Amino acid sequence: MLFRSPSPTVASGANHTHTATQVSDSTATGRALVTAASDAAALERVTRGRRWPAKAATLLLWECNESTGTVVNYGSLGTAGDLTVGAGAVRRARPLLSTIGPGLGTDHGDTTSDATGAAGCRATTGTAVTLWWIGTLAGDAGGTKWTLIARDHASPGSFPAPYICVMLSLASGVLRAEINDGTTYVALASGLATPAANVQHLIGLTYNGSTLKLWLDGAEAATASVAGSIDWGDTDALWHISGNGGGAERATAVTLRAGLENVVWTADDWVEAWQRMRGDWVE
């Protein structure tokens, strides 16, 4: 994964670079125009505007940029939605192309590289659901499967079929929206090319009781007719950023934000989220 250097550099001719603390004006005073502190503060102000706040229908909203402690839930379910960070996860990992600052770095090969918790947190209905994830992917998952975000169906300690309630994943280069519709396990695969590696993406799903849709970067990527209602499973089932209750399928990725909405986002909602994230949205 490509992470932003903790000491930003600015090119200064062939074979020369300077750290941000060394950039100054041409006057005799040598007054610094950019410092590490001012650069970080300015970046924080810019990225904060691209992280839209929780809305009335937002149940779970994880910013994933904490330096210590839990991954805090800013949605309406409050602290019940907090996640515990695994020892193998990298806090405040900053992808080079992130427009919204740092996130939580995880690695497919590390069984502790995740964030888990929010037991019992679920939507109040199984027919008006939006699940979304913003982050960067380190590749196409090869011949494996990377779970970006998921809620288990069963209590901790077991992972029987139908395995999950909702999940976003990348399997052998193919994005998938996966749900348990109350009867069967449904996996909707994107027909698009594998999302570019190390580039920030907005990935999500919506389900309204009759149609399951997969979304990528503000546009619909796949759709399928699926009648039913999401079965939210056991009341103490857990949420996972990277991986699931099966103890595998962790993602080599940086999760920058993720959330669960108690409503079905429209096409306009996805466009707005994509543009806000990029800094293109105009009120």
Q: Work out the angle at residue 75's Cα, subtended by the Cα atoms of residues 273 and 1, and round it to the nearest 5 degrees.
A: 55
Share of the chain above pLDDT 90, in %: 79
pLDDT at residue 46, rounded to an integer: 60
Residue in the structure block whose two tokens are 């690695």 = 107
Share of the chain above pLDDT 70, in %: 83
pLDDT digits (tens, 9 = 90+) for 25-60: 444 444 444 455 555 555 555 666 799 999 999 999
pLDDT digits (tens, 9 = 90+) for 101-154: 999 999 999 999 999 999 999 999 999 999 999 999 999 999 999 999 999 999
In angstroms, rounded to a whole number, what is the distance separating the alpha carbons of residues 140 and 176? 12
In angstroms, rounded to a whole number, what is the distance separating the alpha carbons of residues 136 and 2? 9
**CA quadruple 134, 135, 136, 137: dihedral positive or negative?**
negative
Per the structure block, which two tokens stand in for 129?
Answer: 């659901």
pLDDT at residue 182, rounded to an integer: 85
* Residue 229 neighbours by CB distance under 10 Å: 17
Mean pLDDT, rounded, of the chain: 87
Tell me which of 181 and 134 has the higher pLDDT. 134
Whether the predicted pLDDT of 6 surpasses 90? no
Cis peptide preceding 162, ω within 30 of 0: yes
